[in-house]
């Protein structure tokens, strides 16, 4: 398959468009849209897991780019932090994608579930966290922490992927002291770079389904634009609530995967 449309039915195309739009909206607000997008892609007859991952990244980069531009026009996030963080994250994502071809992601899923539970508890038990931007570091330390976050989460995105945007948001809130809205704006810039890093790896392998990817990208763009506008309009409290919902969904999804792989 080259386009992905060779054997696909109209109902599946509609489901992919709906999933792409919804994923774009969720990704723009807090991240985690892959929960919706990847399962929809797996409905394409004959698609392989690598093709699904590559096509998912292609669709996502349209959405994250759109939401990043929309956020920038309204929130004006500090690019002096976001750009170097994104550059490091791009390299990390490429490295993660490289390792993903040699090491099964299942090895890391139990660790990710524990991390997500910790994230959910931190956010739920500290209602004031992320309400206002109160930076925890200044000077060189600020940029070192930002780049470390970019490297670790970029690597995770290339290796596994689900919840990358959510991890970026909570890291920017908890480790750096940003408000949820500003954290989401920066996270979109970094997430755009992690998608690009994984795509750079996948492109030479011929894994992309170009037709499905472009359709998914268009739907993702629309969802990303609307999601970013909604987040800006509603503010950090709204982003925090959506964040908790998405993190809970991620915990359930990954915990179910771990159970199936080990006990089913």
What is the tens place of the pLDDT at every residue in 22-56? 999 999 998 888 878 888 888 888 888 778 888 98
Q: pLDDT category, 213, cuts 50, 70, 90?
A: very high
pTM score, whole prediction = 0.85
Provide the 8-state DSSP code for 209. Answer: -
Query: For position 2, what pLDDT does the model report?
Result: 65
Q: Among the residues of the chain, which ranges form H helices?
A: 10-29, 34-41, 49-75, 79-100, 109-125, 139-159, 164-174, 180-202, 210-234, 236-262
Taking CA 134 as the corner, what is the angle to CA 132 and CA 140, rounded to the nearest 5 degrees?
145
In Å, what is the CA distance from 248 to each residue of 64, 152, 177, 207, 242?
Answer: 22, 22, 22, 31, 10
Q: What percentage of the chain carries pLDDT values higher than 90?
A: 41
pLDDT over 70, % of the chain: 95
Residue 129 has pLDDT above 70, yes or no: no
Q: Residue 182: which residues within 8 A CB-CB, separation 6 or more?
A: 75, 77, 133, 172
Two tokens, residue 169: 């948001």
Burial of residue 117 (CB within 10 Å: 0-12, 13-18, 19+) is middle
CA distance 193 to 171: 17
Please provide residue 11's backbone torsions phi and psi, each rounded to the nearest 5 degrees: -60, -40
Question: Would you state the pLDDT for residue 161?
Answer: 75
Distance separating alpha carbons of residues 27 and 211, to the nearest angstrom? 22
């Amino acid at each position: 398959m080259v386009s992905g449309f060779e054997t696909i039915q109209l109902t599946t195309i509609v489901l992919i468009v709906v999933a792409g739009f919804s994923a774009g909206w969720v990704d723009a607000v807090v991240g985690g849209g892959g929960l919706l997008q990847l399962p929809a892609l797996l409905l394409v007859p004959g698609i392989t897991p690598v093709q699904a991952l590559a096509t998912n990244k292609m669709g996502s980069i349209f959405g994250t780019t759109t939401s990043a531009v929309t956020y920038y026009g309204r929130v004006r996030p500090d690019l002096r932090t976001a750009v170097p963080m994104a550059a490091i994250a791009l390299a990390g994502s490429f490295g993660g994608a490289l390792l993903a071809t040699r090491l099964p992601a299942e090895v890391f899923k139990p660790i990710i579930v524990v991390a997500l539970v910790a994230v959910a508890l931190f956010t739920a038990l500290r209602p004031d966290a992320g309400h206002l931007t109160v930076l925890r570091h200044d000077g060189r330390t600020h940029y070192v922490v930002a780049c470390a976050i970019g490297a670790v989460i970029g690597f995770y995105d290339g290796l596994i992927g689900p919840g990358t945007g959510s991890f970026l948001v909570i890291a920017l809130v908890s480790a750096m002291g940003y408000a949820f809205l500003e954290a989401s704006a920066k996270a979109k810039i970094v997430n755009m770079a992690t998608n690009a890093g994984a795509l750079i790896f996948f492109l030479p392998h011929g894994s992309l389904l170009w037709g499905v990817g472009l359709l998914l990208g268009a739907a993702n763009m629309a969802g990303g634009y609307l999601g970013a506008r909604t987040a800006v309009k509603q503010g950090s409290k709204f982003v925090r609530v959506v964040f908790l919902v998405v993190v809970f969904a991620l915990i359930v999804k990954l915990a179910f995967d771990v159970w199936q792989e080990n006990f089913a």
